[in-house]
Amino acid sequence: MTALPQISEQDATPEILAIYTKIKIVSGLPMVNLIWRHFAAFPSVLDWAWNTVAPAVGSTAIDLAMQRIVTSIKLPPIVPMDADGLRAAHLSDKARADISAVVNAYTRGNLINVVALTALRMRLEHPDRPAASLTPRMRRVSPPPAELDPLPRIDALDPHLAACICALALHHEGADGYVIPSLYLALSYWPGLIEALPSRLSALYQPAPMRAAQTDVCDLAEAEAGAMLAEFSPPPAGISAVRPALQRFTQVLIPGAIPVCVALHRLLVDAR
């Protein structure tokens, strides 16, 4: 797979790290999602993009939009794992709690990004549309106290585990040859879960349900983003380099990741 240019939190300069910190504080997240790390690889793009969408991310409107999207997604039935399934996947109560923290973080991050970055994409496509009037939250949302474990590199994983993750990525339209969904790398600390996902989420991983859920999220996000168009300052020259990724992330990759996040919540949080 071709690696998407990005700057990890570990490799970030102090200037980039300061923006990453703002993203985490305003978003209420313990990590910075891949699309922002990609923006950081191009001069001035990260700062411009974040300043453009920060009012939406810090608003009450996006909180309500996320709730509407997650409760409106139509998924095939997901059967919660029973005790035997949890044991077979080597998932203790602590492991389930840790996995839930990862899934919750990626669910929130993907929901924020699909709305805010769809608004950014729409603003670039329609620069003359009037800006929205957004009400800031009364208080900032703080990231969870515990940071998530660092994302491993796919080439640093056990070859069998890496192959399983690459196989999962093939279920996501647009990921093959482009990116590996970060969620799977974050879950690589629990190989038994990775190995169980193809069968446990088989109803969702079929092409038709995945495409339907992805289209559903994309349509919902565009409807919500129309009310969150921010004030628009001239974009930097580097924006042309990231517009293909912005389009693919907002129309394909993030809308395809959110249904998996919701399905994982049903699979594990409701497990018996």
Q: Residue range 150-178: average pLDDT?
A: 89
DSSP state of 140: P
Q: pLDDT at residue 139 above 80?
A: no
pLDDT at 90: 95
Task: Quote the CA–CA distance of 124 and 122 in Å, as a whole number.
Answer: 5
Least Cα distance to 55 among 236, 230, 232, 233 occurs for 230
Q: Mind listing the pLDDT tens digit for each residue in 233-249?
A: 889 988 999 999 999 99
Whole-angstrom CA distances from 57 to 6, 13, 53, 165, 182 are 22, 24, 6, 30, 21
**Exposure string (b/e) for 130-169, b if CB count within 10 Å is 16 or more?**
eebebeeeeeeeebeeeebeebeebeebeeebbebbbebb
The whole model's pTM is what? 0.91
> If pLDDT is split at 50, 70 and 90, which confidence band does 1 have?
very low
Q: pLDDT at residue 144 above 70?
A: no
pLDDT at 176: 64
pLDDT at 202: 97
Q: Mind listing the pLDDT tens digit for each residue in 33-72?
A: 999 999 999 999 999 999 999 999 999 999 999 999 999 9
